[in-house]
Homo-oligomer: A and B are copies of this chain.
Amino acid sequence: MAEGQTWTTQLTKVEPNHLVVRGYALDEMMGRLTFAESIYLLLRGDLPPAPARALLDAVFVASLDHGPGAPSASTARTVASTGAPLNACVAGGVLAINKLHGGAIEECMEILGRAVTDARQRGCAASVAATDLVTAALQAKKVLSGFGHRVHTKDPRTTRLFALAAEAGVDGDYTAMARAIQEALKAAGKDLPINVDGAIAAVLCELGFPPALGNAFFMIGRVPGLAAQAYEEMTTQKPMRRIDFPAVVYDGPAERSLP
């Protein structure tokens, strides 16, 4: 860059005693926008449409935590047990969010995008495009990101997120395509239901996010879980223990209903 040349950002303006995010004063946002709405604003450049608001919270809540055995949480706890500060535990955990864990959202968004475009161009039903896509993937022995889970056969987060999306009217070609691919997999003898990554992918497609931002949603949602797991390890367990992850037992509050 030549002397005196500038470059631009469209995110945040920082002046002494004045902070502006995407045009709005940050202090005005505080108390007026929820955290989820502010994240949407920062990532997209504008306030979320009304129906999307509760849905965004649900996307982040769906990603909150999945116990100590999720690889990102295992990593955060292992790092914590060596005497690391909390931010190193969280950073370690974030490094374990990849294609096979939490990071399937981006790939699934690309799959859904290609399939919807394919159906539109051919003027065919979602089920036809989905069957072709599944046939090709099975022949190429390619895993379809967003389908199947090592623990859940019917992920409660998927069911709930799709119900909320339907209520909010955020339900269109992409959520339909996700369901069509699930059906096509079943018809091909593969019981690989839409997992939480796949459900989030479909919702983010409906909301118009680019695939390259997909994993950001999982990370943002899961960081509180990584912090909670690391903090619990630090405060309740012996340092440098050999952590036998499958041997964990839940000992928190008994199951209860929201008031």
Contact between B90 and A219 (Cβ–Cβ < 8 Å)? yes
What chain B residues lie within 8 Å of A18 (beta carbons)?
156
Q: Which of B9, B46, B96, B101 contacts A248 (CB 8 A)?
A: B9
Q: Check A29/B61 contact, CB under 8 A, given A10-B252, A82-B99, A98-B82.
A: yes
CA distance A219 to B85 in the complex (A): 13
Q: Which of B75, B83, B154, B244 contacts A98 (CB 8 A)?
A: B83
Contact between A240 and B90 (Cβ–Cβ < 8 Å)? no
Contact between B88 and A88 (Cβ–Cβ < 8 Å)? yes
Q: Which of B157, B220, B244 contacts A7 (CB 8 A)?
A: B244
What chain B residues lie within 8 Å of A248 (beta carbons)?
6-9
Contact between A17 and B156 (Cβ–Cβ < 8 Å)? yes
Q: Which of B68, B95, B244 contacts A87 (CB 8 A)?
A: B95
Q: Which residue of B lies closest to A253 (CB)?
A: B23
Please tell me how many copies of the chain the complex holds.
Answer: 4
Interface centre among A27, A100, A225 (most CB of B within 10 A): A27
> Contact flags (1/0) for A80-96 with B, using CB distance below 8 Å?
01111111111110111
- Number of chain A residues whose Cβ lies closer than 8 Å to a Cβ of chain B: 132
Query: Taking the nearest CB of chain B, how far is it from the CB of A172, in angstroms?
Result: 19
What chain B residues lie within 8 Å of A66 (beta carbons)?
12, 14, 19
A47 contacts B by Cβ under 8 Å: yes
Q: Check A58/B86 contact, CB under 8 A, given A6-B247, A248-B9, A252-B9.
A: no
CA distance A245 to B77 in the complex (A): 14
CA distance A97 to B89 in the complex (A): 11
Interface centre among A35, A39, A66, A232 (most CB of B within 10 A): A35
Contact between A57 and B33 (Cβ–Cβ < 8 Å)? yes
Q: Besides the contacts A10-B252, A88-B98, what 11 more A-B pairs have beta carbons closer than 8 Å?
A: A1-B241, A8-B236, A9-B232, A17-B152, A27-B156, A82-B99, A85-B98, A88-B91, A92-B96, A219-B227, A242-B246
16 contacting pairs across A/B (C-beta < 8 A):
A1-B244, A8-B251, A10-B253, A12-B67, A16-B152, A26-B62, A27-B160, A30-B62, A32-B258, A34-B57, A35-B61, A36-B36, A71-B240, A75-B78, A87-B97, A88-B98
